[in-house]
Amino acid sequence: MHKIITLISLAIGIGLFWSLSTPIFEFPDEQAHVGTVEFLLKNGRVPAGEEYDMTPEMETTQKLLGVFRDPYGNNSVTYHPEYRVPYTDSLTGLYEEQIIALNNLENRGIYIWSEAARYPRLYYDFVSLGDRLVQNSDIITRVYAMRLTNLLLFLGTIIISYRFGLLFFRKKYLGFTLALMVLLQPMYTFLSSGINSDNLHNFLVATILYLGVYHLKYAPTIPSTFFSLTLLLLDLYTKPQGFIVVPILALSFLPWLLKQRFTLTTKLIILLYVLVAIVYTKSLWSPYITLLNSPNMHGVTLLSFISFSLNKLVTQNIVWYWGVFKWLGVVLPPIYWQLANRLALLAGLGILVYFYKVVKAKKIVADLMPTLYLIVSTIMYVGAIYWFDWQYHKDVGYSLGIQARYFFPVILPQMALLLLGLTSYGWSKLTRRVISSLIIIFFLWLQLGGIYRLLTSYYDLNSFSTFITQASQYKPGFAKGSWWYLYLALYLVSCATIFASALRFKKHKA
């Protein structure tokens, strides 16, 4: 419990600073998700089809801030990372009062354009809790209230990360290390601090994977099966990608089913799973079956698509994975992602060392079956993303566009395998603890590089007073002026605490 409370405190300090310091509508697709929440509150449903959902308040606000997209998807920020909204010498932005004045029935009561996300409504019902509390306020306050509500999902994911690591590695210090790796990964911190339905999907998939590993280690039970299926249903009401998790969860039951006779418990578990499959198979698979059967109208070959995707993966995705901000225009300095990718490569070789130890019956830090499950789950999820993109490419003639953040639903297996690979080089308990400490310090370095890159892309950091002045503009009252001393202190104390914990790791008990 002590470690969970510590992780919650650290996640609050770090997530809060990212959330408040990032300007409005600067998280991935944030304006589209905000539009969905606002439409839901007014109409009791999410928008559908081609119907309009953007209010004059939303349109004017985006235009004043330079983020309104033209019919080609471009705005003042896209392809122009140097762009900054004009700042003043006060705590109030140049257009801030004009944006606040848009908060009236005329500007919020009609729709003039279509932009909101067309996803299932569960995430938007959740985030709307923050919006409801300040529904009569201006759009700036409403957006930041939604962001603070969204941070609860970030906290939940970090807790699950620790529980997952404890279950997978059977060591508290490795569970704590895994949770810190997820917490500090700069791109994941960035995404989790904004309004995006990915965050609920990531949390639900992480929890489902935790139960999958539980099934492999201890065998499924009626409660764990019911809970995992319930989470799966919730995920299907969050993202269409939830269908990918169906076979991943089913895989966790397979070894147990092969060993069991069909007792009453087995029959009940199978029945629960089959019922879910029957109810959702048609709604989930029909659109994709139609797409699979579509003719190749553009002469696209699978070989050319693979070549294209691999090129994007090597030149773009492995960079974006560690941090891409400001409408895909700003990434971490090369030294950060270059070292991070080399560390991942070293971990991949370490997985081979792990399998060597398994064959030689040497001491390992994680069981074989859950390890294989994490590898296969990651391949299945990432492969499904690329398979859908291939179908889209084949049908339309160009790629839908794979962003590295699309892989974050399986960030727990990714980070767990990275940690497993690196600690497999250890030849004693002490060396494994030292390696885990060095990993934490490395991820803390990535985190600091990420937040510094973000801040310098928006604000002038030559003086602290200038930063406070600029960071306070287009923000609600609780993110103006002296409040920034508190938020910065929380962030720095959280980072210092993490650094200190890494130095003390070798003294911790397993």
**Residue appearing with tokens 């994680």:** 366
Distance CA 345, CA 138 (A): 48
Percent of the chain with pLDDT over 90: 76
At 278 the pLDDT is 57
At 280 the pLDDT is 58
Distance CA 480, CA 468 (A): 8
pLDDT (tens digit per residue) in 98-156: 999 999 999 999 999 999 999 999 999 999 999 999 999 999 999 999 999 999 999 99
For residues 234 and 204, the answer to whether their CB atoms sit within 8 Å is yes
Distance CA 61, CA 34 (A): 13
At 256 the pLDDT is 82
Q: How many CB atoms lie within 10 A of CB 507?
A: 7
Is the model's pLDDT at 297 over the cut of 90? no
At 80 the pLDDT is 86
At 22 the pLDDT is 97
Least confident range from 299-303, 345-349, 450-454: namely: 299-303
Q: How many CB atoms lie within 10 A of CB 316?
A: 17
The structure tokens listed for 4 are 């969970």
pLDDT (tens digit per residue) in 212-262: 999 999 989 999 999 999 999 999 999 988 889 999 999 998 888 777 666
Percent of the chain with pLDDT over 70: 92
User: pLDDT band for position 361 (50/70/90)?
Assistant: confident
Distance CA 210, CA 370 (A): 10
User: pLDDT band for position 288 (50/70/90)?
Assistant: very low
At 1 the pLDDT is 74
For residues 208 and 235, the answer to whether their CB atoms sit within 8 Å is yes
For residue 454, with 0-12 CB atoms within 10 Å meaning exposed, 13-18 middle and 19 or more buried, which class applies? Answer: buried
Please give the model's pTM, rounded to 2 decimal places: 0.91
Is the model's pLDDT at 509 over the cut of 90? no
At 291 the pLDDT is 43
At 456 the pLDDT is 97
At 255 the pLDDT is 85
At 289 the pLDDT is 45
User: pLDDT band for position 381 (50/70/90)?
Assistant: very high
For residue 17, with 0-12 CB atoms within 10 Å meaning exposed, 13-18 middle and 19 or more buried, which class applies? Answer: buried
At 505 the pLDDT is 61
**Residue appearing with tokens 């995707």:** 309
Span 493-498, average pLDDT: 97
What is the residue-averaged pLDDT of the chain? 91
How many residues are present in the chain? Answer: 510
User: pLDDT band for position 398 (50/70/90)?
Assistant: confident
At 91 the pLDDT is 97
Helix (H, G, I), strand (E, B) or coil at 324: strand
pLDDT (tens digit per residue) in 32-91: 999 999 999 999 999 999 999 999 999 999 999 999 998 878 899 988 889 999 999 999
pLDDT (tens digit per residue) in 471-492: 999 999 999 999 999 999 999 9
